[in-house]
Amino acid sequence: MKKETRLYSGKTKDIFTTDDPLILVMEFKNTLLNPDATKEAKFDKKGLYNNQISTKIFKLLDKNGVPNHFVKTLDERSMAVKRLKMIPIKVVIRRKAAGAMSESLGLKEGAKLNCPVLDLYLKNDKLNTPRLTEDYIKALDITSESIMAEIKELSWKTLDLLANFFESIGIDLIDCKLEFGTDENGNVILGDEISPDNCRLWQLKTGEILDKDRLQKDLGKIEESYHEVWDRVMQAKS
């Protein structure tokens, strides 16, 4: 497999085409940016941590019935993934109040919810990723009702698997961001990554933040926190 043209460059990853039209290379960057790109952190092993965390979790999800785009690890910072037609919807599932939910509803971060909440957003940075409802998705023909039903089913299943996995290694999954696409056969597949970049992860016993929010909140010790998550994930039983 030969890496060819850069197809996309984002805040945390670069995507490259390959000589196989159905396979892409996803390369993790060593940089971390906050949501409005006003703060940046960089450390040499960030790409390695996120690549290896995502690899381990994608394998766990696949084994438990959640299809995803992971194909194989290529090197420390990159993996081969299936080429998907990405659905422009960002799914955020919240197990406790944090981030935008806390800010918009005046809830204390970490406040328990009676049940998890599934939020939907349009993946469009120019529009500041506006919130969606299923009625909007239907009215704007963003995706079909059947695909939306599959996305929700896979999102809930992913949440259960991730929450149980992280709890087993002493980490509380507060919320997670998921993205989906369809493969060449129209199957709905989980894409993107699973890492401290798109999951809020807190120490189960102390509530210490172990994810990207350390940058936004100026808490320091970002590299140490990512290393802590990586170390626990890599030592966990598959």
Kindly report the CATH number assigned to the domain that includes residue 182. Answer: 3.30.470.20
The partner residues of 176 in beta bridges, in order of sequence, read 93, 199
Please report which confidence band the pLDDT of residue 238 belongs to, taking 50, 70 and 90 as the band edges.
low
Please report which confidence band the pLDDT of residue 226 belongs to, taking 50, 70 and 90 as the band edges.
very high
> Which position has the higher pLDDT, 2 or 219?
219
Regarding whether 130 and 90 lie in a shared domain, the answer is yes
The Cα–Cα gap between 20 and 72 comes to 14
pLDDT at 37: 82
The partner residues of 86 in beta bridges, in order of sequence, read 181
Give the single-character DSSP code of 12.
S
Choose the final residue of a domain: 82, 103, 121.
82
In this structure, the number of other CB atoms found within 10 A of the CB of residue 62 comes to 13
CATH number at residue 10: 3.30.200.20
The Cα–Cα gap between 42 and 88 comes to 28
Q: What is the pLDDT of residues 4-32, one digit of tens each?
A: 999 999 889 999 999 999 999 999 999 99
The Cα–Cα gap between 28 and 11 comes to 9
Please give the tally of structural domains in the chain.
2
Give me the residue label for tokens 């995502």.
54
Helix (H) / strand (E) element for 224: namely helix 222-235
Give me the residue label for tokens 């993946």.
123
What residues make up the domain containing 38? 3-82
Regarding whether 123 and 18 lie in a shared domain, the answer is no
Tokens (6 digits) for 203: 């120490």
Regarding whether 102 and 78 lie in a shared domain, the answer is no
Regarding whether 57 and 43 lie in a shared domain, the answer is yes
Tokens (6 digits) for 128: 């500041």
Please report which confidence band the pLDDT of residue 35 belongs to, taking 50, 70 and 90 as the band edges.
confident
